[in-house]
């Protein structure tokens, strides 16, 4: 993680984290990985893209609301 490589620091926060799983995490300075991600996205059919979008929407809708998170934090 730019700029200091906080992978181990953030790992407990992102492990089993639904929000984090919604997107693909790519190191911004890894040109090969970025190119592969772009190629993969560009090679999907419309049906595959729509399926992925619908999965994203479903998982997004299942995340806790900001209000419930704030209430939880305030209750601590």
Burial of 33 from C-beta contacts in 10 A (0-12 / 13-18 / 19+):
middle
Angle, CA of 8, 11 and 12, to the nearest 5°: 120
Q: Which residue has the higher pLDDT, 75 or 13?
A: 75
pLDDT of residue 32: 93
Q: Is the pLDDT of residue 45 over 80?
A: yes
- Number of Cβ within 10 Å of residue 34's Cβ equals 13
pLDDT the model gives residue 71: 92
Domain boundaries, the chain: 7-75
Note if the pTM is more than 0.75. no
pLDDT at residue number 4: 62
18 band by pLDDT with thresholds 50, 70 and 90: low
* 58 vs 64: CA distance, rounded Å: 13
CA dihedral 21, 24, 29, 32 (to 10 degrees): 140
pLDDT of residue 66: 87
């Amino acid at each position: 993680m730019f700029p200091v490589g906080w992978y181990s620091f953030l790992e407990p926060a992102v492990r089993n984290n639904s929000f984090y799983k919604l997107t693909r995490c790519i190191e911004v300075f890894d040109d090969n990985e970025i190119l592969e991600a772009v190629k993969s996205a560009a090679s999907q059919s419309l049906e595959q893209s729509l399926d992925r979008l619908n999965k994203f929407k479903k998982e997004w809708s299942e995340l806790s609301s900001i209000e419930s998170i704030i209430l939880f934090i305030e209750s601590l």
